[in-house]
Structure 1
């Protein structure tokens, strides 16, 4: 009889502990991780091994994503419905390719050294590749690229050392008519902005004054500029007047190395991770309103 009572008490105790843990997990006020996460991962696609080093993505159409990885000069078309690579386009020899943008039938790829590759008619067997040298170099380290068709330009952000200042990271414009980059940024990410500080005014993760853009994209719905950091995973949102609107901290377990980002025409956000820990992936991410 006594053994039955003890067994029953043990079972009740285990159930209570499980209930408390479940309540804490589901209650953001008691679960620091849930409280900090200002986004929801709606869906995740593990990509094939060929894309283990995935570094840039652009939404094409019909649930297809064009991808580039940072070792081979190849464009991959990945189908979100079938989880398969449908097509590969070898546009150049091996290199360190990072950002990707597409306007109509032309693909643009930026190399970390600052070179921009223009692949005309990239879906055709008769595609043509042209290379443009920009004022940037390896010490600046360019990993981001996005299309701004309304202004007939591409936007790219310096990751490491901005050539003009240590107080900001510049967003520069590549004019699609002249095929040149202005030496001055059109937007500046002010590294002294209070958004990079913690709630108590202290430095955010002791990295105040540091931000390393790994990707950039324009939200087609509101026109805001989204800047992704992969080094210490974050997502910064800025408007066209350089006002920093939101800074989302990304959990490293879900975002071990986020380096690619793109929007569908309806504003659906996709972020890709290199295969730093586990398989590389593409995720549909929904940001919560702050």
Structure 2
């Protein structure tokens, strides 16, 4: 063997070994899931054309036999049995930009993107047109909203701001809490909160502009918050005091435009997706393991 080939072997061997070792390292999965769920294997329920732009979803007393939902443009509350495309609806408003809803015991609250809240009795959901309705226009700080959650035990309502003044600068996401007075049928301001996004931004898990929450719900057992972001294509799990616990990137081939989020009484997780020219709107069910 000539001196040239000896030198070539000396320099090449470490490179070959390094390549072999690095090739043996286990690859991290691209799309992770919260404990107890597999976000890559859903049961899919395709929506009818009337719910192509499905946004918020909710269950009455966490019973998943009937899904209540809204879509972006029309002021209609939809209801349908699981895996049955046939839907009925009740009109509660005119054309608008409706983003989410919550069912608080016997009361339904619909959220419009400018922060306007439509509040009416659950019993009205079976009517063709809802008449007993109260509209709150200036209850929330000025901004853009897409996320609402109602706690049946405390009668409290939580709202996350998608785009509010100061949030981007502070690398935070702000939110408001209200208590619903059943006797007076009033929403009473009960405080606010903030969620630190700086670590997620530094890790490039979300955009510099923030989380841009599109839906919110809460694990009824652990009290952990589940926050969905369609813009960032992530599902964030946070502690009860709004500290980030885990961030899960969502597969765009599974989640077209995730906009709605809910748990049922069996701890199954549901995420709704708006459709487009190529695909129908849908609700994805993730069974609890």
- Alpha-carbon separation, structure 1, partners of 2:246 and 2:156: 25
Alignment-derived partner of residue 187 in structure 2: 179
Greater C-alpha radius of gyration: 2
Q: Which moved more, 1:246-255 or 1:36-45?
A: 36-45
**Displacement of 1:271 after TM fit?**
0.2
Q: Which residue of 2 aligns with 1:114?
A: 115
Counterpart in 2 of 1:190? 196
User: Scaled by the length of structure 2, what TM-score is found?
Assistant: 0.78
Q: Is the 8 A contact 2:64 2:264 kept in 1?
A: no
Does the 8 Å CA contact 1:51/1:280 hold for their aligned counterparts? yes
Deviation at 1:211, TM superposition (A): 1.0
User: In 2 relative to 1, CA 111–236 (structure 1 residues): closer, same or farther, beyond 3 Å?
Assistant: same
Contact 1:143-1:157 within 8 A present in 2 as well: yes
Superposition map of 1:54-69 within 5 A:
54-60=54-60, 61-69=63-71
Tell me how far 1:91 sits from its aligned partner. 1.1
- Which of 255-264 and 119-128 deviates more? 119-128
The answer to whether the 8 Å contact 1:41/1:286 transfers is no
CA contact (8 A) 1:195 1:246 kept: no
Give the aligned partner of residue 89 of structure 2: 88
Secondary structure of residue in 2 paired with 1:67: strand
Q: 1: distance between equivalents of 2:108 and 2:114?
A: 18
Q: Is the 8 A contact 1:100 1:110 kept in 2?
A: yes
Alignment partner, residue 129 of structure 1: 133
Secondary structure, counterpart of 2:50 in structure 1: helix
Contact 2:57/2:272, CA 8 A, preserved across alignment: yes
Return 44-53 or 62-71, whichever deviates more: 62-71
* 2:225 and 2:242 in contact (8 A); partners too: no
Give the 3 Å change call, closer, same or farther, for CA 254–98 of structure 1 in structure 2.
same
Count, aligned residues: 249
How does the TM-score come out when normalised to structure 1? 0.77
1:160 is aligned to 163
CA contact 2:160–2:175 (8 Å) conserved in 1: yes
What CA distance in whole angstroms lies between the structure 1 residues aligned with 2:202 and 2:43?
A: 31
SS of 1:204's equivalent in the other structure is: coil
Distance 2:180 2:168 in 1: 25
1:264–1:108 distance in 2 versus 1, CA, 3 Å: same
SS at match of 2:144: coil
CA–CA distance in 1 between the matches of 2:245 and 2:197?
Answer: 14
Classify the secondary structure of the residue corresponding to 1:107. Answer: strand
RMSD of aligned alpha carbons: 2.5
Say if 1:150 and 1:105 are closer, same or farther in 2 by CA, change over 3 A. closer
Distance 1:195 1:268 in 2: 27
2:236 is aligned with 1:233: no
2:286 aligns with 285
Alpha-carbon displacement from aligned partner over 1:43-69 (angstroms, at most 9, x marks no partner) = 001100000111100023252110000
Partner of 1:11: none
Q: Larger deviation: 36-45 or 141-150? A: 36-45
Q: Which moved further from structure 2: 211-220 or 76-85? A: 76-85
Cα deviation code 1:164-202 (max 9, x no counterpart): 7732111211221251435x52x322111x34444xxxx
Structure 2, unpaired ranges of 5+: 1-24, 34-38
User: What is residue 273 of structure 1 aligned with on the other side?
Assistant: 273
Q: Where does structure 1 lack aligned partners over 5 or more consecutive residues?
A: 1-27
The CA distance in 2 between the partners of 1:213 and 1:287, in whole Å, is 23
Instruction: Find the aligned partners of 1:237 and 1:35 in 2 and give their Cα distance.
Output: 17
Matched, 1:258 2:258: yes
